[in-house]
Structure 1
């Protein structure tokens, strides 16, 4: 690893980490926009992730639920990158993860739930769009027979507790994420295409507050020119190296 990078990040104490699908591919979860991504292989699949289509068409909703019924994330385990971030926090650094992922692997790796902001929600719970009911997704999928799913209380449309295209992020969560980015001394953007806003703009918030921005991603991103360092290395290899450098003052 570059000596200039090591010297710049060594001993950082306030670390914000924006993570995208790329951090979980080593756990067997496919990303969305990569060469083998879900939407690259099946472009029409993105239709099921658009709020307007989801709410309007029972067939689209059934396709959405089918995609999650056998989702690799149910069987996935945290990989070396997830574990390294949790271990860095456990060693005394103030690590806060701002994740675009809905798989819950950061928490399973050992980070306290309060230290993980799930910007785009979680696949582990499901809510009714018409009443306050929330259910574990495992219970919902247990009765999925390939058709549209409806609320057992009111008959309303059930939606996985994730943010779909056309749906706003939770304002409180986003505001908290911006405050964390602004307070960070080191901002790591890991495995994100940085094409989805407003999550990607957290990089700008960090840079404007004079944080060191390090982007770790296989492909170019719109924020590469703003970064202090851009790494194209394997995430499962380089993230533990970055964490080791931070934790070695």
Structure 2
């Protein structure tokens, strides 16, 4: 393949319909984020378990045989600030989920399946008061203003909800795909500790977690805990330094994870 054909802009590739990856999986999945606690995650022991990887956390997978089940990125500047990692994610992942406006940029074609996201539409009065169950789970009808858009999508073909952290979108991807036991890795939400793949010399992408933590991020996780998490869909946080309260998303140690999802034992 020539260099020119390899780097065609995404508009030359029609994204697959998101209904094509709905309920394609089951069981456990790890969501791998970029918090510094992810450094302790034994990737090789769990490489037999599907992984949903966000943003620069793909660096953990470089030079390994592990291919992310999904790669998810919505940060508008990530692909220009961390070009090498972004290109690696597109080349290595089985499925890539990006915002639909990424189609305006000249980026490499994903090697695997490509899905484009759109935000969930604003609800109509009929949506709010019809009483008909919806795949777009929203806050109370009485909430108004900027945070009235907080919600959780069970079907991404109908749109997604932005909580200002891509890990929350990854949770919607996990639900959409059919997974029912989700383990969060590196979802620290602690800008002061940095990202596990960053060094003193490396390029650092801007971080706005503090700006939105109390107003949008935590309320989004609280909504999920109240209206989505159940016996059929459970979520656990492996980070001991996460700013998500354990009363919202319970903490689980890696040893307890191994009881639920046995690690793979490799012979020397």
- TM-score calculated relative to the size of structure 2: 0.36
Greater helix share, 1 or 2?
Answer: 1
- TM-score calculated relative to the size of structure 1: 0.38
